[in-house]
Amino acid sequence: MNYKDYHIILASNSPRRKELLRGLDIAFDVRVLPNIAETYPNTIVPSDVAAYISSEKADAYKDAITDNELVITADTVVIVDNEILGKPHNNAEAKQMLHKISGRQHQVVTAVCLTTTKKQRCFSVSTNVTFKQLTEEEVNYYVETYRPLDKAGVTSLEGSYFNVMGLPVQRIWEELNAF
Q: Which residue is catalytic, options 29, 63, 67, 75?
A: 75
Rounded CA-CA distance 98/138 in Å is 10
Q: Which residue type occupies 7? A: H
State which H helix or E strand residue 165 sits in: helix 161-165
Give the relative orientation of helices 136-145 and 91-101 as an angle to the nearest 10 degrees.
130
Query: Does 25 qualify as catalytic in the annotation?
Result: no
User: Which candidate, 80, 179, 164, 63, places its Cα nearest to that of 121?
Assistant: 179
User: Which candidate, 153, 87, 99, 156, places its Cα nearest to that of 127?
Assistant: 156
Radius of gyration from C-alpha coordinates of the chain: 17
Alpha carbon 75 to chain centroid, angstroms? 4
Indicate which residues carry an active-site annotation. 75
